[in-house]
Amino acid sequence: MKATFHYKSGDPAVVLDVDEGLTLMEAARQEGVEGIVAECGGGAIRGTCHVIVDQQWFDASGPLDPTEEVLVGLSPECEPTSRLACQIEATAGLDGIAVTIPENQI
């Protein structure tokens, strides 16, 4: 599936082919996408893979669990469609998903 990573800073977007079953965080790290720090390696305990999901993809990206909701809420750049990239698993239903990487990770 394809995933597009936009930058809030205005830098050029990065489009990745993501294998189903990987998370967006895993794919971004494998391809060296700037801004996805992922200090916890995907454990949803740091909030350093915060992305803002484009509104049209938010519902399809799945529900936030309470821990994820708290972590994204700590970001000064939190928006209503904020998620952790480590919690978004690539599926056929998300082909074409677009997310924006905030300028700062917590």
- The structure's pTM equals 0.92
Whether the predicted pLDDT of 80 surpasses 80? yes
Domains and CATH numbers, the chain: 2-101 (3.10.20.30)
Tell me which DSSP letter residue 46 carries: S
Arithmetic mean of pLDDT over the chain: 93
Residue among 77, 80, 41 at smallest CA distance from 64: 80
Confidence at residue 62, expressed as pLDDT on a 0 to 100 scale = 94
9-58: pLDDT as tens digits: 889 999 999 999 999 999 999 999 999 988 777 777 778 899 999 999 99
Q: How confident is the model at residue 5 (pLDDT cuts 50, 70, 90)?
A: very high
Percent of the chain with pLDDT over 70: 99
The long-range contacts involving 7-16, CB below 8 angstroms and separated by at least 24 positions, are 7/34, 7/35, 7/100, 7/101, 7/103, 8/52, 8/77, 8/100, 8/101, 8/102, 8/103, 9/103
